[in-house]
Amino acid sequence: MSPSPIFNIPWAIVFCFAIWVIWNQRNLFLYKQQNFDSQRTYGLIVERAIEFWSSKPLPPSRTTKPSRLIGWDPLPPNWLKLNTDGSVAGNPKNASCGGLFRDSQGHWVVGFIHNIGHTIALAAELYAIKDGLNIAVNHHFPSVIVETDCQVAYLLLTGAPNVFHPYSTLIMDCKALLNMIPQVQVKNILREANMVADALAKKGVSTPHGFNILYICPPEVDLLCTADYVGVSYPRP
């Protein structure tokens, strides 16, 4: 299958989602009298295709590959690391996100949880990054490494602007906040290196709607924080 300009996703995949999204938008126009918005339709096609392509399983291997050990990596002195994650009980359904800042020695600096409400997984991931960046800007953190295990969010934040994306406003907000931090890096990591943020995101579902900042490590994630601090790694094929 030949690649398309959309992150090299095969045209056959993009075409399938184009037909599906256009059919849904046509039904909304006919039966719910919602105006047909071509820009929003294009954005939905791109989003669905990227989300599907990024979640595709790896092809089976005929040889057994040795496991890698993945864990939270320490960072240079005078830097802070922001780990973020989103959590959705269905897609779309009730969503939450969470994240935390740690210093170069792995100590908790500040964290957050956010019960977002009804949305999809990608939006929850972007909200998590935006929430963390807002904290960094408000606290005047000068040097921040941002880590997310969502490849789609990473590509959207580090790639060229796309005004047709349904979450373009959220993406642009994140990029604007990144530009307010004197030194900043954005990285895509594996989920085994993002265990604490994942636990915080899931905790957010059970909290009241809205944003909560955490200056003390919650007991529910204290063990995971300690594991990262002492360098525990997890096997990954």
pLDDT in tens, 128-153: 999 999 999 999 999 999 999 999 99
5 pLDDT more than 70:
no
What pLDDT band is residue 3 in, cutting at 50, 70 and 90? Answer: low
Q: What is the pTM of this model?
A: 0.75
Distance CA 177, CA 132 (A): 10
Taking CA atoms, 157 is separated from 7, 116, 175, 228, in Å, by: 13, 20, 7, 26
More confident position, 198 or 52: 198
Counting every residue written for the chain, the total comes to: 237
54 pLDDT more than 60:
yes
Name the pairing type of β-strands 143-148 and 108-119.
Answer: unpaired
Distance CA 186, CA 181 (A): 12
